[in-house]
Amino acid sequence: MAEIGQNIDFAKRLLESNDLVGIPTETVYGLAGNALSIEAILKIYKVKNRPSFDPLITHADTIEKIQGIVDDIPETAQKLIETLWPGPLTLLLPKAKHVPEVLTSGLPRIAVRIPKHPLTIQLLQQLDFPLAAPSANPFGYVSPTNAHHVDDQLGFKIKYILNGGPCPIGLESTIVGFEEGRTVLYRLGGIPLESIEKIVGRVELKLNQSSDPTAPGMLRSHYAPGPQVIISDLSKLKFNQEDAVISYSTDYNHQNQVILSPRASLDEAAKNIFSALRQFDNDNIRRIYVELVPEVSLGRAINDRIRRAAYK
């Protein structure tokens, strides 16, 4: 198992020798390595068991460092950056030439963001390279929202996990890019669609729903735990011992039940959805019945993840 702690110097030394470290962000935990080192990048793909066609997100603590790895920041991107960074927004921008091709799976754009977590910001401040960090889970599984989730699945492959406590948002960042002047949203996430539209006007949705592995972005079946996930109207069902129930705010009086937010807060539900799916991924459970949440604000991203978990 990995060591778990808050030793930023140790994390820094490991990263400087091309080792990988689990890092907290406001969204989910990341599996971090030097974004400019081919050796470290290849390790990330290997540890995650991630196909090489699925590119990584790069993290830095300042706009200046981001400017060092992109070719251009269009005006619309600038507007989003001013309001939403640091925070759960990832931008696809033209990649600078010196950035290794393996980082972006050969694509012309690089995914970048400034995360909002004090420990990881401190770490980034002390490094003279940005960090590539996909979510710290094996490819295709639910993202980790605390240090122990990372340890459970990747602890035998990495030496250290920086412990920043439970992730305050609990869903991955929203991914946005620009195509011929249009603003395009590729992944629903921690910044609601509505907040982005308030800043830049109309946004086109291109949520990758395909299972075509040659299309980069999100594969349709993702975030999947072991038991079958079934989206249902929970008020109409009778549950047995091997069933688990994940409700939004209603108490269905079942023993294997997680209520995502008893006070019906989408923020709170977002924080809890991935750990709920993990909790019921055990041999005693055969089916996880989940209800969708209101399809607004963070609810869109929560429902997106529930649908992907349920997709076979």
Residue 173's binding partner among ligand TXA, Mg ion, none (Cβ under 5 to 8 angstroms by kind) is ligand TXA
CB of 136 to Mg ion, least distance (A): 9
Q: Considering only 7-15, 135-143, 225-233, 246-254, which stretch makes contact with Mg ion by CB under 5 A?
A: 135-143
The reply on whether position 112 binds ligand TXA by CB under 6 A is no
- In the list 135, 145, 247, 303, the residue contacting Mg ion (rule: CB under 5 A) is 135
CB of 219 to Mg ion, least distance (A): 10
- In the list 216, 225, 227, 299, the residue contacting ligand TXA (rule: CB under 6 A) is 216
Residue 35's binding partner among Mg ion, ligand TXA, none (Cβ under 5 to 8 angstroms by kind) is none
Interface with ligand TXA in residues 224-253 (CB under 6 A): none
Q: Residue 47: how many CB atoms within 10 A of its CB?
A: 18
The interaxial angle of helices 147-154 and 266-279, nearest 10 deg, is 30
Q: Identify whether the C-beta of residue 37 lies closer than 8 Å to the C-beta of residue 56.
A: no
Q: Which residue has the tokens 């050796």?
A: 39
Q: Identify whether the C-beta of residue 31 lies closer than 8 Å to the C-beta of residue 157.
A: no
The reply on whether position 120 binds ligand TXA by CB under 6 A is no
Interface with ligand TXA in residues 71-90 (CB under 6 A): 88, 90
285: Cα separation from own chain's centroid: 25
* Count of alpha carbons within 13 angstroms of residue 56, beta-carbon side: 34
Residue 54's binding partner among Mg ion, ligand TXA, none (Cβ under 5 to 8 angstroms by kind) is ligand TXA
Q: Which residue has the tokens 């649908």?
A: 307
The strand pairing partners of 162, in sequence order, are 5
Angle at 164 between CA 163 and CA 170, to 5 degrees: 120
Residue 56's binding partner among ligand TXA, Mg ion, none (Cβ under 5 to 8 angstroms by kind) is ligand TXA
| Peptide bond between residue 86 and the one before it cis (omega within 30 degrees of 0) | yes
CB of 16 to ligand TXA, least distance (A): 20
Residue with Cβ nearer ligand TXA (18 or 208): 208
CB of 247 to ligand TXA, least distance (A): 25
Question: Closest Cα partner for 291 from 209, 224, 230?
Answer: 230
CB of 102 to ligand TXA, least distance (A): 12
Question: Closest Cα partner for 187 from 167, 166, 203?
Answer: 203
Print the binding letters for residues 11-50 with ligand TXA: x by CB under 6 A, - otherwise: --------------x-xx-x--------------------
Q: Considering only 133-141, 180-188, 253-261, 273-281, which stretch makes contact with Mg ion by CB under 5 A?
A: 133-141
Contacts of 53 (CB under 8 A, 6+ apart): 105, 213, 214, 216
Contacts of 219 (CB under 8 A, 6+ apart): 54, 140, 208, 210, 211, 213
Residue with Cβ nearer Mg ion (116 or 305): 305
What are the backbone dihedrals phi and psi of residue 31, each rounded to the nearest 5 degrees, phi first?
-105, 100
Interface with ligand TXA in residues 123-142 (CB under 6 A): 133-135
Q: What is the CA radius of gyration of the chain?
A: 19
> Would you state the structure tokens that stand for residue 62, as one six-digit string?
């300042």
Q: Where does this chain bind Mg ion (CB under 5 A)?
A: 135
Binding stretches for ligand TXA (CB under 6 A): 25, 27-28, 30, 54-57, 88, 90, 92, 104, 107, 109-111, 115, 133-135, 172-173, 175, 216-218
